[in-house]
Protein backbone atom coordinates (compact mmCIF):
# COMPACT_ATOMS: atom_id res chain seq x y z
CA UNK A 1 0.00 0.00 0.00
CA UNK A 2 1.01 3.64 -0.30
CA UNK A 3 2.79 6.09 1.96
CA UNK A 4 1.60 9.70 2.18
CA UNK A 5 2.94 12.87 3.84
CA UNK A 6 0.28 15.19 5.23
CA UNK A 7 0.93 18.73 6.45
CA UNK A 8 -1.62 19.70 9.07
CA UNK A 9 -2.94 16.14 9.23
CA UNK A 10 -3.92 15.97 12.89
CA UNK A 11 -7.00 18.22 12.90
CA UNK A 12 -9.92 19.16 10.68
CA UNK A 13 -9.67 18.29 7.00
CA UNK A 14 -6.14 16.94 7.35
CA UNK A 15 -7.20 14.56 10.11
CA UNK A 16 -10.11 13.32 8.01
CA UNK A 17 -7.71 12.65 5.12
CA UNK A 18 -5.28 10.86 7.44
CA UNK A 19 -7.99 8.61 8.86
CA UNK A 20 -9.39 7.80 5.43
CA UNK A 21 -6.00 6.79 4.06
CA UNK A 22 -5.26 4.65 7.11
CA UNK A 23 -8.67 2.97 6.81
CA UNK A 24 -7.79 2.09 3.21
CA UNK A 25 -4.60 0.38 4.38
CA UNK A 26 -2.09 3.14 3.61
CA UNK A 27 0.45 4.72 5.98
CA UNK A 28 0.78 8.41 6.75
CA UNK A 29 3.46 10.70 8.13
CA UNK A 30 1.74 13.73 9.64
CA UNK A 31 3.48 17.06 10.20
CA UNK A 32 1.71 19.40 12.64
CA UNK A 33 2.14 21.25 15.90
CA UNK A 34 0.30 18.60 17.94
CA UNK A 35 -0.60 14.97 17.37
CA UNK A 36 -4.29 15.64 18.00
CA UNK A 37 -6.40 12.58 17.21
CA UNK A 38 -3.90 10.87 14.92
CA UNK A 39 -4.16 7.11 15.57
CA UNK A 40 -1.28 5.70 17.58
CA UNK A 41 -0.28 2.67 15.52
CA UNK A 42 2.19 1.48 12.90
CA UNK A 43 0.21 3.17 10.11
CA UNK A 44 0.73 6.71 11.43
CA UNK A 45 3.78 8.72 12.41
CA UNK A 46 3.57 12.24 13.86
CA UNK A 47 6.33 14.82 13.34
CA UNK A 48 6.20 18.11 15.25
CA UNK A 49 6.38 21.12 12.93
CA UNK A 50 4.70 24.54 12.86
CA UNK A 51 4.05 25.67 9.28
CA UNK A 52 3.49 29.23 10.49
CA UNK A 53 7.15 29.36 11.50
CA UNK A 54 10.31 29.70 9.43
CA UNK A 55 11.80 26.57 11.00
CA UNK A 56 13.38 24.06 8.67
CA UNK A 57 11.07 21.23 7.67
CA UNK A 58 12.49 17.96 9.09
CA UNK A 59 13.31 16.34 5.76
CA UNK A 60 14.76 13.21 7.40
CA UNK A 61 11.16 12.04 7.81
CA UNK A 62 10.40 12.48 4.09
CA UNK A 63 13.00 10.07 2.75
CA UNK A 64 12.07 6.96 0.85
CA UNK A 65 9.23 6.58 -1.64
CA UNK A 66 6.22 8.86 -1.14
CA UNK A 67 3.08 8.14 -3.12
CA UNK A 68 1.47 11.46 -2.29
CA UNK A 69 1.56 14.69 -0.33
CA UNK A 70 -1.20 16.91 1.02
CA UNK A 71 -0.83 20.47 2.34
CA UNK A 72 -3.73 21.45 4.64
CA UNK A 73 -2.56 24.37 6.86
CA UNK A 74 -4.39 27.61 6.24
CA UNK A 75 -5.75 30.81 7.71
CA UNK A 76 -9.09 32.59 7.82
CA UNK A 77 -8.40 36.25 8.54
CA UNK A 78 -11.53 38.10 7.36
CA UNK A 79 -11.62 41.90 7.20
CA UNK A 80 -13.03 44.71 5.02
CA UNK A 81 -10.41 46.05 2.63
CA UNK A 82 -9.92 49.32 4.53
CA UNK A 83 -8.77 47.30 7.55
CA UNK A 84 -6.52 44.83 5.74
CA UNK A 85 -2.95 45.25 7.01
CA UNK A 86 0.16 44.43 4.96
CA UNK A 87 1.24 42.15 7.81
CA UNK A 88 -1.94 40.06 7.52
CA UNK A 89 -1.42 39.76 3.76
CA UNK A 90 2.17 38.60 4.28
CA UNK A 91 1.20 36.14 7.01
CA UNK A 92 -1.56 34.62 4.88
CA UNK A 93 0.81 34.29 1.94
CA UNK A 94 3.52 32.67 4.06
CA UNK A 95 1.21 30.09 5.67
CA UNK A 96 -0.95 29.28 2.65
CA UNK A 97 1.50 29.49 -0.24
CA UNK A 98 5.17 29.79 0.74
CA UNK A 99 5.05 27.00 3.33
CA UNK A 100 3.20 24.78 0.87
CA UNK A 101 6.03 25.22 -1.62
CA UNK A 102 8.62 24.56 1.08
CA UNK A 103 6.85 21.34 2.09
CA UNK A 104 6.66 20.19 -1.52
CA UNK A 105 10.36 20.93 -2.01
CA UNK A 106 11.16 18.80 1.03
CA UNK A 107 8.92 15.96 -0.18
CA UNK A 108 9.95 16.09 -3.84
CA UNK A 109 12.76 13.50 -3.75
CA UNK A 110 10.42 11.03 -2.07
CA UNK A 111 7.63 11.78 -4.55
CA UNK A 112 9.95 11.22 -7.49
CA UNK A 113 10.96 7.90 -5.94
CA UNK A 114 7.35 6.70 -5.77
CA UNK A 115 6.70 3.23 -7.12
CA UNK A 116 3.30 4.34 -8.41
CA UNK A 117 3.04 5.38 -12.05
CA UNK A 118 2.54 8.94 -10.82
CA UNK A 119 2.82 10.38 -7.33
CA UNK A 120 0.14 12.91 -6.36
CA UNK A 121 0.24 16.32 -4.65
CA UNK A 122 -2.98 17.89 -3.37
CA UNK A 123 -3.08 21.49 -2.12
CA UNK A 124 -6.02 23.06 -0.28
CA UNK A 125 -7.42 26.25 -1.78
CA UNK A 126 -10.76 28.02 -1.14
CA UNK A 127 -14.00 28.82 -2.93
CA UNK A 128 -13.10 32.50 -2.44
CA UNK A 129 -10.66 32.28 -5.37
CA UNK A 130 -13.37 31.32 -7.87
CA UNK A 131 -16.13 33.45 -6.37
CA UNK A 132 -15.70 36.96 -5.05
CA UNK A 133 -16.53 36.99 -1.36
CA UNK A 134 -16.50 40.16 0.72
CA UNK A 135 -13.78 40.50 3.37
CA UNK A 136 -11.66 37.63 1.95
CA UNK A 137 -8.83 39.78 0.54
CA UNK A 138 -5.92 38.11 2.35
CA UNK A 139 -7.01 34.51 2.00
CA UNK A 140 -8.24 34.85 -1.60
CA UNK A 141 -4.96 36.45 -2.65
CA UNK A 142 -2.86 33.75 -0.95
CA UNK A 143 -4.91 30.80 -2.17
CA UNK A 144 -5.19 32.30 -5.66
CA UNK A 145 -1.40 32.32 -5.77
CA UNK A 146 -1.40 28.71 -4.55
CA UNK A 147 -3.70 27.63 -7.41
CA UNK A 148 -1.36 29.31 -9.90
CA UNK A 149 1.60 27.52 -8.32
CA UNK A 150 -0.25 24.20 -8.58
CA UNK A 151 -0.75 24.64 -12.33
CA UNK A 152 2.88 25.64 -12.76
CA UNK A 153 4.12 22.62 -10.84
CA UNK A 154 1.72 20.31 -12.67
CA UNK A 155 3.49 21.31 -15.88
CA UNK A 156 6.97 21.23 -14.39
CA UNK A 157 6.71 17.88 -12.59
CA UNK A 158 4.76 15.90 -15.20
CA UNK A 159 4.71 13.03 -15.95
CA UNK A 160 6.14 11.70 -12.68
CA UNK A 161 4.15 13.86 -10.22
CA UNK A 162 0.58 15.12 -10.52
CA UNK A 163 -0.45 18.38 -8.78
CA UNK A 164 -4.04 19.42 -8.09
CA UNK A 165 -6.01 21.66 -5.73
CA UNK A 166 -9.22 21.10 -3.80
CA UNK A 167 -11.18 24.29 -3.10
CA UNK A 168 -13.66 23.92 -0.21
CA UNK A 169 -16.26 26.40 0.91
CA UNK A 170 -17.02 26.86 4.62
CA UNK A 171 -16.22 23.60 6.39
CA UNK A 172 -16.97 22.69 10.00
CA UNK A 173 -13.45 22.78 11.42
CA UNK A 174 -11.90 24.50 14.43
CA UNK A 175 -10.77 27.31 12.15
CA UNK A 176 -14.38 28.10 11.24
CA UNK A 177 -15.96 27.34 14.64
CA UNK A 178 -17.02 30.95 15.18
CA UNK A 179 -19.56 30.63 12.34
CA UNK A 180 -21.38 27.77 14.08
CA UNK A 181 -21.75 29.00 17.66
CA UNK A 182 -25.57 29.17 17.56
CA UNK A 183 -28.35 27.39 15.72
CA UNK A 184 -29.23 30.68 14.05
CA UNK A 185 -25.70 31.13 12.70
CA UNK A 186 -25.60 27.56 11.44
CA UNK A 187 -28.96 27.97 9.67
CA UNK A 188 -27.76 31.21 8.04
CA UNK A 189 -24.58 29.53 6.82
CA UNK A 190 -26.49 26.52 5.47
CA UNK A 191 -28.88 28.78 3.55
CA UNK A 192 -26.01 30.25 1.52
CA UNK A 193 -25.44 27.00 -0.39
CA UNK A 194 -27.47 25.42 -3.20
CA UNK A 195 -27.16 22.08 -1.37
CA UNK A 196 -28.41 23.80 1.81
CA UNK A 197 -25.59 22.82 4.11
CA UNK A 198 -21.99 23.68 4.87
CA UNK A 199 -19.21 21.16 4.37
CA UNK A 200 -17.71 18.62 6.72
CA UNK A 201 -14.08 17.50 6.86
CA UNK A 202 -15.17 14.14 5.45
CA UNK A 203 -16.70 15.86 2.40
CA UNK A 204 -13.34 17.40 1.57
CA UNK A 205 -11.35 14.32 2.51
CA UNK A 206 -13.29 12.23 -0.04
CA UNK A 207 -12.15 14.54 -2.85
CA UNK A 208 -8.58 14.77 -1.59
CA UNK A 209 -8.29 10.99 -1.28
CA UNK A 210 -9.70 10.50 -4.77
CA UNK A 211 -6.99 12.79 -6.19
CA UNK A 212 -4.26 11.01 -4.24
CA UNK A 213 -4.99 7.51 -5.47
CA UNK A 214 -4.26 5.89 -8.85
CA UNK A 215 -7.87 6.10 -10.05
CA UNK A 216 -7.26 9.78 -10.76
CA UNK A 217 -3.96 9.32 -12.57
CA UNK A 218 -5.09 11.26 -15.67
CA UNK A 219 -5.95 14.38 -13.63
CA UNK A 220 -3.37 17.13 -13.07
CA UNK A 221 -3.29 20.92 -12.98
CA UNK A 222 -6.93 21.13 -11.85
CA UNK A 223 -8.83 22.83 -9.04
CA UNK A 224 -11.76 20.74 -7.82
CA UNK A 225 -14.45 22.76 -6.09
CA UNK A 226 -16.03 20.94 -3.14
CA UNK A 227 -18.30 23.75 -2.06
CA UNK A 228 -21.97 22.73 -2.02
CA UNK A 229 -22.38 24.46 -5.38
CA UNK A 230 -21.45 27.92 -4.13
CA UNK A 231 -18.91 28.82 -6.85
CA UNK A 232 -20.89 27.70 -9.92
CA UNK A 233 -24.55 27.30 -9.06
CA UNK A 234 -27.23 29.87 -8.23
CA UNK A 235 -30.48 28.53 -6.82
Which of the 8 DSSP states describes residue 230?
T
Rounded Cα distance, 145 and 119, in Å: 22
pLDDT tens string 189-200: 899 899 999 999
Average pLDDT over residues 169-190: 84
CA dist., res. 144 & res. 162, Å (int): 19
Exposed, middle or buried, 178 (CB in 10 Å: 0-12/13-18/19+)?
exposed
Q: At a CB cut-off of 8 Å and minimum separation 6, what does 225 contact?
A: 127, 130, 167, 231, 232
Q: Using an 8 Å Cβ cutoff, are 164 and 122 in contact?
A: yes
Range 4-32 average pLDDT: 96
Segment 70-88 mean pLDDT: 92
> What pLDDT, on the 0 to 100 scale, is given for residue 31?
97
Rounded to 10 degrees, the C-alpha dihedral 118/201/168/160 comes to -10
DSSP 30: E
- Residue 174 pLDDT > 80: no
Which is higher by pLDDT, 43 or 76?
Answer: 43
Instruction: State the pairing for strand pair 223-226/161-168.
Output: parallel
What whole-number percentage of the chain has pLDDT above 70?
100
Amino acid sequence: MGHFAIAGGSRGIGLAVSKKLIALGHSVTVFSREAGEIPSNESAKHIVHDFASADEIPTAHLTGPLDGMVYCPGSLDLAPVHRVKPESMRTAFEVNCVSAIRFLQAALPGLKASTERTASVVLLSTVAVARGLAMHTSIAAAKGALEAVARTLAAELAPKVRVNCVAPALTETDLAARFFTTDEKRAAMNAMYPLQRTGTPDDIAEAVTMLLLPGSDWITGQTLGVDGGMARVQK
